[in-house]
Structure 1
Amino acid sequence: MNFPVVGVVGGGQLARMTHEAGIPLGIQFRLLSDTAQDSAAQVVSQVTVGDYRDLATLRRFAAGCDVVTFDHEHVPTEHLRALQADGVVVRPGPDALVHAQDKAVMRAKLDEIGVPSPRHRIVSDPADVAAFAAEHPSGSGWPVVLKTVRGGYDGKGVWVVHDQQEAEAPFRAGVPVLAEEKVDFVRELAANVVRSPHGQAVAYPVVESIQVDGVCNEVIAPAPGLTDELAGQAQRTALTIAKELQVTGHLAVELFQTTDGRILVNELAMRPHNSGHWTQDGAITSQFANHLRAVLDLPLGDPRPRARWTVMANVLGGDYPDMYQGYLHCMARDPALRIHMYGKDVKPGRKVGHVTTYGDDLDEVRARARHAADYLRGTISE
């Protein structure tokens, strides 16, 4: 067997689903996981249990891998540069990945290349936040969104503050804080694209992402009612970012559609992303398969949808731990339903799986996805 070996840093559900997509391609997998019980570690045969923050561990893991890629963005940038200096192929590389790791670096680069995003700047203390709010054209820019520049995700490391006193909490950790205007938006969108080292790129349909308490709850593909003009603008923006940042692999660009008809970039992720999970069942080539193709510099697959509508709903843990009985009911009730479980212990609010539905009638497709996700969580019983 001379098929390539892909090393994935991180043992979460994204690595699990990426491994699944690689099986038909004959790709060999190695995994660096925090524990042997992590989602991907349960299904990958070659698992190294270790700390991704330790350079020696990373070096031992990378030895023998044809390419190293990621389940998350948290590997220290300097470690990735050290791996590259050792001759390891790292995709996406640190020069690109730092824009998903550090929000201040990301905002500066987007400003440089002319990509629109919310008004922002680094702030030093609560008084500086108040000064930022006062810089709003209206003279009163409260509330303000504060973010730690590194480490935040799924609503963590993000605060919406309404005055100077509320602005104290983010500074207690002693890390840099980014202030952003709170955008008046109609909805959140996501543009998912994939780019290979030689510059081939594909774009998936722009989706609507529905958040609850900072966590993605539901994704509708394509975004209902989005004009061709705005959809094209969002895709071009994502492709431009991928090219300018020299991204290799999957790039998710989270967007605000504003009340005045603009598209603003909120966040970047350089790995498969929750807003792209619908592609497992709803696209000709999934985000996971195309991410693998990209990091191996293989020809990219067709991103077109298989059905008119696809809806993905996250299954969040609740007080009902018996997921097995739950999905037996859902399978019997809706044979066309697709269920993806992550092998995680059920904890309230934790992402433990997702479901996808597809068809020609959006209301019906959405109702089926919501019913299954709610039943699996235990919030409904019939």
Structure 2
Amino acid sequence: MTTPRTAPGGFPVVGIIGGGQLARMTAPPAVGLGVTLSVLAESESASAAQVIPSSPVGDHTSVEDVVEFARRCDVVTFDHEHVPPEVIAAVQAAGVRVEPSPEALLHAQDKLVMRRRLTELGIPCPDWAHVTSRSDLEAFGERVGWPLVLKTPRGGYDGKGVRVVTGPDDARDWLDAVEAAGAGGTDSEHGATMADGLLAEAMVGFTRELAVLVARSPSGQAAVWPVVETVQTDGICTEVLAPAPDLDPELASRASESALRIAGELGVTGVMAVELFETRDGDDRPTYLVNELAMRPHNSGHWTIDGSVTSQFEQHLRAVLDLPLGSTRARERWTVMGNVLGGDYPELYATYRHLMARDPAMKFHLYGKDVRPGRKIGHVDVSGDDLDDLRARARHACDYLQGVITE
């Protein structure tokens, strides 16, 4: 471990727990801000470790590893939300500032905690119930109707830890794990703890999925980006349209106000994504329900790297360091982000060169990951005035990189 605490010139050292692509994409704005980054990486070949010189290898669940890492930093933040609360508490006990705080982060780590708090705040959410037994699930299903959505409170992402169930038999293994929780029962497929039961939610008939990205600093300054539309394929976000096309202005305003309120009420520091369902109310007017929270830079905000005056990664650094926040204004009328998923062709460089020549205005962001089918390995951004053209260009690039098309 060689990173000193506080770099030359008095500029701070920001530590990021986790060496994934979010940490990797924080490196360019850190250079511009004069901030030194250090990353606690999962391995020497982790995505962020390839581009950040100070990337010691450690286990994010190990108090010893994380505290040793944190002592060389002025502030610590996160690449993901899977750092155990007891580990974060140990970092704070060592006198290192953690942003967002464990009290705020818990609302992104535990879906039951999140649902309870948002309900207390009067934030629109799907009808939900805390399920600890088969009879609980049956009673909720009888009340809201089948099918319904069942979630593990912790550990789920990209569609994992989520099931659509038509009856209790569809959740037999999870219900068995809950009943075994006294013996430390877990779901072997996802590794998410079942100790506190499950979250059941009514199936929402939504028009589309939206997201609001907000940033907040410790001194209370906050900023919000335009509401975007997110397009999901098999539980994975494959496209983001910024701003969301044909979005009712009043709905956009209310959704943004809710995101800012959630950030303030939970005491969030840094970037937070609020994922939404756009629905219709009883009078057939557009409205929304909050689906999930993420307290870190988020896939729905990757468009900001090229499409916004201030990217979510620069803004996250500004926020955790309590620097004045940057403008969230869009640079162009439209920006489309397309996620690049791995396919059957592991060699990307020639493909990448071809696409650069074909579309010089497109921006490419690859994460340095081994290619595996269905794995997120990068994204593309393209901006301009013609949304249909932008979508077609982004889809072509993603399909070409994945190997779905060859010309």
Structure-1-length-normalised TM-score: 0.97
Out of 65, 73, 83, the position equivalent to 2:73 is 65
Verify: 1:280 aligned to 2:284, yes or no. Answer: no
Out of 202, 210, 216, the position equivalent to 2:231 is 210
Equivalent-residue separation in structure 2 for 1:219 and 1:168 (angstroms): 35
Verify: 1:225 aligned to 2:246, yes or no. Answer: yes
> What SS does the aligned partner of 2:33 have?
coil
Contact 1:129 1:167 in 2 (8 A): no
> What SS does the aligned partner of 1:49 have?
coil
Equivalent-residue separation in structure 1 for 2:350 and 2:129 (angstroms): 50
Q: Any gaps of 5 or more consecutive residues in structure 2? A: 1-7, 178-184, 186-193
Structure 1 ranges of 4+ moved more than 4 A: none
The one-letter code of the counterpart of 1:64 is R
Equivalent in the alignment of 2:3: none
Q: Percent identity?
A: 60
> What SS does the aligned partner of 2:40 have?
strand
Equivalent in the alignment of 1:33: 41
The one-letter code of the counterpart of 2:105 is L
Verify: 1:5 aligned to 2:13, yes or no. Answer: yes
Equivalent in the alignment of 2:188: none
Equivalent-residue separation in structure 2 for 1:45 and 1:149 (angstroms): 35
Cα shift readout 1:269-319 (whole Å, capped 9, x = no counterpart): 000000000000000000000000000000100001000000000000011
Question: Cα distance, 1:325 vs. partner?
Answer: 1.3
Equivalent in the alignment of 1:79: 87
Contact 1:251 1:269 in 2 (8 A): yes
Contact 1:159 1:170 in 2 (8 A): no
The one-letter code of the counterpart of 1:186 is T
RMSD of aligned Cα (Å): 0.9
Question: Cα distance, 1:44 vs. partner?
Answer: 0.7
Question: Cα distance, 1:20 vs. partner?
Answer: 2.0
Q: How does 1:115-264 map to 2 (within 5 A)?
A: 115-136=123-144, 141-173=145-177, 174=185, 175=194, 176-260=197-281, 261-264=286-289
Equivalent-residue separation in structure 1 for 2:396 and 2:303 (angstroms): 17
Contact 1:39 1:343 in 2 (8 A): yes
Q: Any gaps of 5 or more consecutive residues in structure 1? A: none
Question: Cα distance, 1:50 vs. partner?
Answer: 0.8
Equivalent-residue separation in structure 1 for 2:173 and 2:308 (angstroms): 43
The one-letter code of the counterpart of 1:28 is T
Contact 1:191 1:235 in 2 (8 A): yes
> What SS does the aligned partner of 1:312 have?
strand
The one-letter code of the counterpart of 1:144 is L
The one-letter code of the counterpart of 1:346 is V
Question: Cα distance, 1:121 vs. partner?
Answer: 1.3
The one-letter code of the counterpart of 2:262 is I
Out of 271, 278, 294, the position equivalent to 2:319 is 294
The one-letter code of the counterpart of 1:308 is R
Verify: 1:346 aligned to 2:371, yes or no. Answer: yes
Equivalent-residue separation in structure 1 for 2:290 and 2:200 (angstroms): 15
> What SS does the aligned partner of 1:262 have?
strand
Equivalent in the alignment of 1:96: 104
Contact 1:189 1:206 in 2 (8 A): yes
> What SS does the aligned partner of 1:263 have?
strand
User: Number of aligned pairs?
Assistant: 378
The one-letter code of the counterpart of 1:114 is G
Cα shift readout 1:100-154 (whole Å, capped 9, x = no counterpart): 0000000011011111100111111333212101112xxxx11110100000000
Equivalent in the alignment of 1:268: 293
The one-letter code of the counterpart of 1:130 is E
Structure-2-length-normalised TM-score: 0.91
Contact 2:141 2:167 in 1 (8 A): no
Question: Cα distance, 1:64 vs. partner?
Answer: 2.3
Contact 1:218 1:311 in 2 (8 A): yes
> What SS does the aligned partner of 2:32 have?
coil
Equivalent-residue separation in structure 2 for 1:235 and 1:23 (angstroms): 30
Equivalent-residue separation in structure 1 for 2:71 and 2:168 (angstroms): 50
Equivalent-residue separation in structure 2 for 1:171 and 1:76 (angstroms): 24
Equivalent-residue separation in structure 2 for 1:252 and 1:361 (angstroms): 26
Question: Cα distance, 1:46 vs. partner?
Answer: 0.7
Out of 394, 400, 405, the position equivalent to 1:369 is 394
Equivalent-residue separation in structure 1 for 2:163 and 2:28 (angstroms): 36
Question: Cα distance, 1:164 vs. partner?
Answer: 2.0
